Amino acid sequence: MEQKQKFTISIFTENEVGLLQRVSGIFTRRHINIESITSSDSEIENVHRYTIVICEDLPLVKKLVLQLEKQVDVLKAFYHYEDDTIFQEVALFKLATKIVESGMRLEQILRDNHARILSIEKEFLVIEKTGQEHEINTLFQKLKPFDILEFTRSGRVAITKPMKTVQKHIEDLQLEKATINLN
């Protein structure tokens, strides 16, 4: 049996109501936990992108991607190994402004972790950290003694290293369908 590993799934779709529910249903039926999910526009007009992170074995991931592509509004789905992607997350930390009294200690933590103060309000300040999951977790642990009032993080935002563009994949798919229809 293959060992589970992290994969980033990229799904390119038309932006249709209810598609996220159908996509997540495929993961649910296969008992696959989604570790992270983001959704956004893509580089192609009117094409939406879901970026989903899972930890599974390769044969199951391959089946999953094939099943995702069977959805009517899905144009193309891919799976990527960790080494084939460049990815980041964004985290926001809300802390009471009274911690500013600790001065140098907080400033040094922010510098050491390449974080920045995004906003200072009367009662709180917001710190932003962009980085990989472990970097955000490290900063979280260092800020914990300052009594974090709120914390949130995005899902993974990722791009792939291979040079074939999604536009080219879609053109190839359309050409393939046209060839099938001619035969």
The reply to whether domains 5-85+158-178 and 88-154 share a CATH topology is: yes
Topology given in CATH for the domain delimited by 5-85+158-178: Alpha-Beta Plaits (3.30.70)
Higher-confidence position of 37 and 44: 37
Residue 163, pLDDT above cutoff 90: no
Residue 109, pLDDT above cutoff 60: yes
Which listed CATH number (3.30.70.1150, 3.30.70.260, 3.40.50.300, 3.30.2310.20) goes with 88-154? 3.30.70.1150
pLDDT-derived band at 127, boundaries 50, 70, 90? very high
Q: What is the mean pLDDT of residues 151-156?
A: 94
Q: What is the mean pLDDT of residues 20-43?
A: 92
Give the per-residue pLDDT at 46.
Answer: 86
The backbone torsions φ and ψ at residue 71, rounded to the nearest 5 degrees and listed phi first, read -65, 135
Tokens of 176: 């393939």
- Mean pLDDT over each residue of the chain, to the nearest integer: 88
Counting Cβ atoms within 10 Å, is residue 7 exposed (0-12), middle (13-18) or buried (19+)? buried
Tokens of 116: 């920045």
Task: Among 67-71, 101-105, 122-126, 149-153, name the one with the lowest average pLDDT.
Answer: 101-105
Any idea what DSSP says for residue 122? S
Give the per-residue pLDDT at 35.
Answer: 94
Task: Among 45-54, 73-82, 83-92, 172-181, name the one with the lowest average pLDDT.
Answer: 172-181
Cβ-based neighbour number of residue 120 at 10 Å = 10
Residue 11 backbone zone (phi > 0: left; psi -120 to 50: alpha; other: beta): beta
Q: What is the mean pLDDT of residues 130-158?
A: 95
Distance from C-alpha of 90 to C-alpha of 131, rounded to nearest angstrom: 7
Residues 166, 44 contacting (CB under 8 angstroms): yes
Tokens of 72: 């009517």
pTM of the complete model: 0.81
pLDDT-derived band at 33, boundaries 50, 70, 90? very high
Higher-confidence position of 177 and 169: 169
Distance from C-alpha of 172 to C-alpha of 72, rounded to nearest angstrom: 17
- The structural domains of the chain, with segments of one domain joined by +, span 5-85+158-178, 88-154
Tokens of 146: 């300052």
